[in-house]
Structure 1
Amino acid sequence: MSEELLRQAVDWLVRLIEAASAVVVGAGALTAFVLFLTALVRRDTSGFVRVRLLLGRFLALGLEFQLASDILTTAVAPTFEEIGKLAAVATIRTALNYFLAREIRTERRELEETDTPTDQASPS
Protein backbone atom coordinates (compact mmCIF):
# COMPACT_ATOMS: atom_id res chain seq x y z
CA MET A 1 0.00 0.00 0.00
CA SER A 2 2.72 2.50 0.92
CA GLU A 3 4.68 1.70 -2.27
CA GLU A 4 1.59 2.44 -4.37
CA LEU A 5 1.08 5.72 -2.51
CA LEU A 6 4.72 6.61 -3.15
CA ARG A 7 4.32 5.82 -6.85
CA GLN A 8 1.25 8.05 -7.05
CA ALA A 9 3.02 10.89 -5.25
CA VAL A 10 6.05 10.62 -7.55
CA ASP A 11 3.78 10.46 -10.61
CA TRP A 12 2.02 13.63 -9.46
CA LEU A 13 5.36 15.32 -8.81
CA VAL A 14 6.67 14.30 -12.25
CA ARG A 15 3.61 15.83 -13.92
CA LEU A 16 4.05 19.02 -11.89
CA ILE A 17 7.73 19.31 -12.87
CA GLU A 18 6.95 18.60 -16.54
CA ALA A 19 4.29 21.31 -16.42
CA ALA A 20 6.83 23.69 -14.87
CA SER A 21 9.20 22.88 -17.72
CA ALA A 22 6.51 23.63 -20.28
CA VAL A 23 5.67 26.92 -18.56
CA VAL A 24 9.34 27.94 -18.46
CA VAL A 25 9.91 27.13 -22.14
CA GLY A 26 6.61 28.72 -23.16
CA ALA A 27 7.27 31.90 -21.17
CA GLY A 28 10.77 32.10 -22.61
CA ALA A 29 9.56 31.62 -26.16
CA LEU A 30 6.83 34.22 -25.75
CA THR A 31 9.18 36.73 -24.14
CA ALA A 32 11.83 36.12 -26.79
CA PHE A 33 9.26 36.53 -29.56
CA VAL A 34 8.11 39.89 -28.19
CA LEU A 35 11.73 41.06 -27.86
CA PHE A 36 12.45 39.76 -31.36
CA LEU A 37 9.58 41.80 -32.80
CA THR A 38 10.81 44.86 -30.90
CA ALA A 39 14.34 44.42 -32.25
CA LEU A 40 12.96 43.83 -35.74
CA VAL A 41 10.92 47.03 -35.69
CA ARG A 42 13.91 49.00 -34.38
CA ARG A 43 16.25 47.23 -36.83
CA ASP A 44 18.56 46.54 -33.94
CA THR A 45 20.75 43.62 -35.02
CA SER A 46 22.42 43.35 -31.59
CA GLY A 47 18.92 42.86 -30.20
CA PHE A 48 18.75 39.52 -32.00
CA VAL A 49 21.75 38.29 -30.03
CA ARG A 50 20.08 39.35 -26.79
CA VAL A 51 16.94 37.48 -27.83
CA ARG A 52 18.95 34.32 -28.53
CA LEU A 53 20.68 34.59 -25.15
CA LEU A 54 17.40 35.04 -23.34
CA LEU A 55 15.73 32.16 -25.16
CA GLY A 56 18.78 29.97 -24.61
CA ARG A 57 18.62 30.55 -20.87
CA PHE A 58 14.94 29.62 -20.75
CA LEU A 59 15.57 26.49 -22.84
CA ALA A 60 18.44 25.42 -20.61
CA LEU A 61 16.25 25.83 -17.53
CA GLY A 62 13.45 23.88 -19.20
CA LEU A 63 15.87 21.06 -20.00
CA GLU A 64 16.94 20.94 -16.35
CA PHE A 65 13.31 20.55 -15.26
CA GLN A 66 12.80 17.78 -17.83
CA LEU A 67 15.88 15.94 -16.59
CA ALA A 68 14.58 16.22 -13.02
CA SER A 69 11.27 14.71 -14.05
CA ASP A 70 13.05 11.86 -15.85
CA ILE A 71 15.10 11.11 -12.75
CA LEU A 72 11.97 11.08 -10.60
CA THR A 73 10.23 8.77 -13.07
CA THR A 74 12.83 6.10 -12.45
CA ALA A 75 13.23 6.79 -8.72
CA VAL A 76 10.63 4.28 -7.58
CA ALA A 77 11.61 0.63 -8.20
CA PRO A 78 13.25 1.15 -11.62
CA THR A 79 13.80 -1.69 -14.06
CA PHE A 80 17.02 -2.06 -16.04
CA GLU A 81 15.10 -0.95 -19.13
CA GLU A 82 13.96 2.26 -17.38
CA ILE A 83 17.50 2.92 -16.15
CA GLY A 84 18.81 2.47 -19.71
CA LYS A 85 16.21 4.88 -21.08
CA LEU A 86 17.05 7.40 -18.35
CA ALA A 87 20.74 7.13 -19.15
CA ALA A 88 20.08 7.75 -22.85
CA VAL A 89 17.71 10.66 -22.22
CA ALA A 90 19.98 12.17 -19.56
CA THR A 91 22.96 11.94 -21.92
CA ILE A 92 21.08 13.61 -24.75
CA ARG A 93 19.67 16.37 -22.53
CA THR A 94 23.01 16.95 -20.84
CA ALA A 95 24.71 17.24 -24.24
CA LEU A 96 22.02 19.66 -25.44
CA ASN A 97 22.41 21.70 -22.28
CA TYR A 98 26.21 21.72 -22.62
CA PHE A 99 26.15 22.96 -26.21
CA LEU A 100 23.42 25.46 -25.41
CA ALA A 101 25.44 26.84 -22.49
CA ARG A 102 28.53 27.03 -24.69
CA GLU A 103 26.61 28.95 -27.33
CA ILE A 104 25.20 31.29 -24.70
CA ARG A 105 28.73 32.01 -23.41
CA THR A 106 29.96 32.68 -26.95
CA GLU A 107 27.03 34.97 -27.75
CA ARG A 108 27.43 36.81 -24.44
CA ARG A 109 31.13 37.35 -25.13
CA GLU A 110 30.39 38.68 -28.61
CA LEU A 111 27.70 40.96 -27.21
CA GLU A 112 30.05 42.31 -24.54
CA GLU A 113 32.74 42.94 -27.17
CA THR A 114 30.34 44.93 -29.33
CA ASP A 115 28.99 46.87 -26.33
CA THR A 116 32.39 47.68 -24.80
CA PRO A 117 33.71 50.19 -27.38
CA THR A 118 30.53 52.30 -27.22
CA ASP A 119 30.56 52.24 -23.42
CA GLN A 120 34.14 53.50 -23.28
CA ALA A 121 33.71 56.22 -25.90
CA SER A 122 34.06 59.68 -24.45
CA PRO A 123 31.12 62.05 -24.97
CA SER A 124 31.64 64.76 -27.59
Structure 2
Amino acid sequence: MLEHSKFWIEHLATGVELAAALVIGLGCAEAIWRSLGAFAGRAVKPEIRLALGRWLALGLELALAADILRTALNYFLERETRGAEEGSHAARRYTSSTASSAA
Protein backbone atom coordinates (compact mmCIF):
# COMPACT_ATOMS: atom_id res chain seq x y z
CA MET A 1 0.00 0.00 0.00
CA LEU A 2 2.77 2.43 0.96
CA GLU A 3 4.76 1.66 -2.19
CA HIS A 4 1.68 2.39 -4.28
CA SER A 5 1.18 5.72 -2.48
CA LYS A 6 4.83 6.68 -2.99
CA PHE A 7 4.50 6.03 -6.71
CA TRP A 8 1.45 8.26 -7.05
CA ILE A 9 2.78 11.04 -4.82
CA GLU A 10 6.01 11.19 -6.81
CA HIS A 11 4.09 11.36 -10.08
CA LEU A 12 1.73 13.98 -8.65
CA ALA A 13 4.68 16.13 -7.55
CA THR A 14 6.23 15.82 -11.01
CA GLY A 15 2.93 16.81 -12.61
CA VAL A 16 2.61 19.84 -10.35
CA GLU A 17 6.18 20.88 -11.23
CA LEU A 18 5.36 20.57 -14.92
CA ALA A 19 2.26 22.69 -14.38
CA ALA A 20 4.40 25.31 -12.60
CA ALA A 21 6.85 25.41 -15.50
CA LEU A 22 3.99 25.68 -17.98
CA VAL A 23 2.34 28.53 -16.07
CA ILE A 24 5.61 30.46 -15.79
CA GLY A 25 6.36 29.85 -19.46
CA LEU A 26 2.90 31.03 -20.52
CA GLY A 27 3.23 34.11 -18.33
CA CYS A 28 6.58 34.99 -19.87
CA ALA A 29 5.24 34.43 -23.37
CA GLU A 30 2.26 36.68 -22.66
CA ALA A 31 4.52 39.37 -21.19
CA ILE A 32 6.77 39.27 -24.24
CA TRP A 33 3.80 39.42 -26.59
CA ARG A 34 2.24 42.33 -24.72
CA SER A 35 5.60 44.11 -24.49
CA LEU A 36 5.91 43.98 -28.25
CA GLY A 37 2.50 45.64 -28.40
CA ALA A 38 3.64 48.23 -25.84
CA PHE A 39 6.49 49.26 -28.09
CA ALA A 40 3.93 49.90 -30.81
CA GLY A 41 1.99 52.07 -28.35
CA ARG A 42 -0.99 49.74 -27.80
CA ALA A 43 -0.48 48.47 -24.24
CA VAL A 44 0.20 49.94 -20.81
CA LYS A 45 3.50 48.76 -19.30
CA PRO A 46 2.50 48.57 -15.60
CA GLU A 47 -0.35 46.23 -16.51
CA ILE A 48 2.14 43.96 -18.26
CA ARG A 49 4.31 43.78 -15.13
CA LEU A 50 1.31 43.09 -12.92
CA ALA A 51 0.06 40.33 -15.21
CA LEU A 52 3.52 38.75 -15.31
CA GLY A 53 3.68 38.99 -11.51
CA ARG A 54 0.39 37.11 -11.21
CA TRP A 55 1.61 34.36 -13.54
CA LEU A 56 4.89 34.09 -11.62
CA ALA A 57 3.11 33.98 -8.26
CA LEU A 58 0.88 31.15 -9.46
CA GLY A 59 3.86 29.27 -10.89
CA LEU A 60 5.84 29.65 -7.67
CA GLU A 61 2.88 28.49 -5.59
CA LEU A 62 2.67 25.36 -7.73
CA ALA A 63 6.42 24.79 -7.37
CA LEU A 64 6.06 25.16 -3.60
CA ALA A 65 3.22 22.63 -3.59
CA ALA A 66 5.44 20.15 -5.46
CA ASP A 67 8.21 20.70 -2.90
CA ILE A 68 5.78 20.11 -0.04
CA LEU A 69 4.65 16.84 -1.62
CA ARG A 70 8.25 15.71 -2.08
CA THR A 71 9.16 16.74 1.49
CA ALA A 72 6.29 14.67 2.89
CA LEU A 73 7.28 11.74 0.69
CA ASN A 74 10.91 12.02 1.82
CA TYR A 75 9.84 12.04 5.48
CA PHE A 76 7.89 8.82 5.12
CA LEU A 77 10.65 7.16 3.08
CA GLU A 78 13.21 8.09 5.71
CA ARG A 79 10.98 6.79 8.49
CA GLU A 80 10.43 3.52 6.63
CA THR A 81 14.17 3.14 5.95
CA ARG A 82 14.99 3.78 9.60
CA GLY A 83 12.43 1.16 10.65
CA ALA A 84 13.87 -1.38 8.21
CA GLU A 85 17.40 -0.74 9.48
CA GLU A 86 16.31 -1.18 13.10
CA GLY A 87 14.53 -4.40 12.17
CA SER A 88 17.62 -5.80 10.43
CA HIS A 89 19.82 -4.89 13.42
CA ALA A 90 17.41 -6.67 15.77
CA ALA A 91 17.35 -9.73 13.51
CA ARG A 92 21.17 -9.86 13.44
CA ARG A 93 21.36 -9.57 17.23
CA TYR A 94 18.81 -12.36 17.60
CA THR A 95 20.67 -14.57 15.13
CA SER A 96 24.04 -13.98 16.78
CA SER A 97 22.65 -14.60 20.28
CA THR A 98 21.01 -17.89 19.27
CA ALA A 99 24.16 -19.02 17.47
CA SER A 100 26.36 -18.31 20.50
CA SER A 101 23.97 -20.08 22.89
CA ALA A 102 23.89 -23.16 20.63
CA ALA A 103 27.69 -23.39 20.68
* TM-score (normalizing by structure 1): 0.58
Counterpart residue number, 1:102? none
Structure 1 position 37, deviation (Å): 0.5
Query: Distance in 1 between the 2:31 and 2:42 partners?
Result: 16
Counterpart residue number, 1:22? 21
* TM-score (normalizing by structure 2): 0.69
Query: Distance in 2 between the 1:77 and 1:56 partners?
Result: 31
- Post-superposition, which runs of at least 4 consecutive aligned residues in structure 1 deviate over 6 A? none
User: Identity, % of aligned pairs?
Assistant: 39
1:58 aligns with 2:49: no
Structure 1 position 77, deviation (Å): 5.1
**Structure 2: gaps spanning 5 or more residues:** 79-103
Aligned Cα RMSD in Å? 1.8
**Equivalences for residues 73-112 of structure 1 within 5 A:** 73-76=70-73, 78=75, 79=78
Counterpart residue number, 2:11? 12
**Structure 1: gaps spanning 5 or more residues:** 80-124
Q: What is the number of residues matched between the two proteins?
A: 77
- Equivalent residue letter for 2:37: T
Give the structure with higher Rg (CA).
Answer: 2
Structure 1 position 74, deviation (Å): 1.5
